[in-house]
Amino acid sequence: MLRDVVALAYDGVGTFGLGIASEVFGFDRGPEGLPTYDFAVVTEQPGRVRTDTGLDVHVEHGLERAARADLVIALGWEHGDVDPPEAYGQVLRDAVARGARVMSQCTGAFVVAASGVADGRVLATHWRYADELARRYPAVRVDSDVLYVDDDPLFSSAGSAAGIDTCVHLLRREHGAAVAAAVARRLVVPPHREGGQAQFVEGPALPPDDGQRLRDVLVWASERLDEPLPVERLAARALQSPRSFARHFRVLTGTTPLAWLLAQRVALAQELLETTDLPVEEVARRCGFGAATTLRQHFTRRLGTSPQAYRRTFRGTGEPALVAT
């Protein structure tokens, strides 16, 4: 269970990523009934550390504080052409060796890659730095087309805001959909974005109101997941032809209407399994899958566990269910 989290700080550390880690894992939400963590920022030489925006932060803890962490976060690394100090690599190797998890945010992927723990594994990073990361560390499989990658025990995000998505995803794995949704609401961010969603999608210019129109359709659809929602119905709601709607949907979201619907339905199923005693057949109906067999098929494909096993896990021991990557 995730209880102890540290973030690695070094010269030029990413300010925004440091803020994300501190907000998600350092803020005390215990009074709200949410998990709390023993959170610390650590550095090789405690004291003043310069961030990438020139803002100095005072870091009290040395790297030895990371020895008991369940999660070590490698924040943005400003010096892509220079290997990080070996001491940080040792922290990451020790973390993986004892069964802890490692997360990188944006160019923090360079720190993880330099340590060797990602050899033969997949890392996401910002598309701007993906080629350089792949060139410097050929043993790492770099994915520049996604928001984040879950290659447990490694979690990596593509860019600054995607770091929030990665943290929320990890909370969902550790504590379940209800906790992840509650934290996301506090952060005023979507409770779930698919990691495989594109970082950016180039496409034709769209009318300026298309973004708001699509948001309205998504809200409308998310309130009717128990109903049939073919692309024709969604397109009609957006006052577009099905072909235009599907094209605009991909341009604006980086995914397809069907993939988005499946993700929302599985997420709702997770929430209902955690928070209600509804039979699996009824959960399937309320999520729009129709039958329990269909729910089990999509649930297992996405999460690597059955609905029944997921319910036992999150309503029983509190230990995280296995999730396919």
Q: How far apart are CA 158 and CA 64, in angstroms?
A: 28
Quick one: average pLDDT of 209-221?
Answer: 81
Q: Which pLDDT score, from 0 to 100, does residue 211 have?
A: 65
Q: What is the mean pLDDT of residues 70-88?
A: 93
- Can you give the length of the chain in residues? 325
Neighbours of 58 (CB within 10 A): 10
Q: Which of 84, 68, 87 is nearest to 76 (CA)?
A: 84
* Cα separations in angstroms, 73 against 160, 179, 218: 13, 20, 33
Please check whether residue 36 is in contact with residue 29, taking contact to mean a CB–CB distance below 8 angstroms. Answer: yes
Q: CA 106, CA 132: separation in Å to the nearest integer?
A: 13
Distance of CA 155 to the CA centre of its chain: 8
Neighbours of 3 (CB within 10 A): 13
Structure confidence by residue, pLDDT tens digits, 272-288 = 998 899 999 999 999 99
Give the chain's mean pLDDT: 88
Task: Reply yes or no on whether the pLDDT at 74 is more than 60.
Answer: yes
What per-residue confidence (pLDDT) applies to 189? 77
Rounded CA-CA distance 91/72 in Å is 8
Position 321 scores a pLDDT of 36
Domain residue limits, the chain? 4-187, 210-253, 259-317
Q: pLDDT of 14-30, one tens digit each?
A: 999 999 999 999 999 99
| Rounded Cα–Cα distance for residues 278 and 224 (Å) | 18
Structure tokens belonging to residue 240: 């577009």
Paired with 124 in beta bridges are: 143
CATH homologous superfamily, domain 4-187: Class I glutamine amidotransferase (GATase) domain (3.40.50.880)
Using a cut of 0.75, tell me whether the model's pTM lies above it.
Answer: no
Cα–Cα dist 50/56, whole Å: 4
Same fold, 4-187 and 259-317: no
What pLDDT is stored for residue 322 in this prediction? 34
The type of residue at 23 is: E
What whole-number distance in Å separates Cα of residue 321 and Cα of residue 162?
23
Quick one: pLDDT band at residue 205, thresholds 50, 70, 90?
A: very low
The topology (CATH level 3) of 259-317 is Arc Repressor Mutant, subunit A (1.10.10)
Distance CA(104)–CA(88), nearest Å, equals: 13
pLDDT at 194: 56
**215 pLDDT band (50/70/90 cuts)?**
confident
Tokens representing residue 241 in the block: 């032809």
**Which pLDDT score is estimated for 193?**
61
Tens-digit pLDDT profile for residues 127-167: 899 999 999 999 999 998 888 999 999 999 998 788 999 99
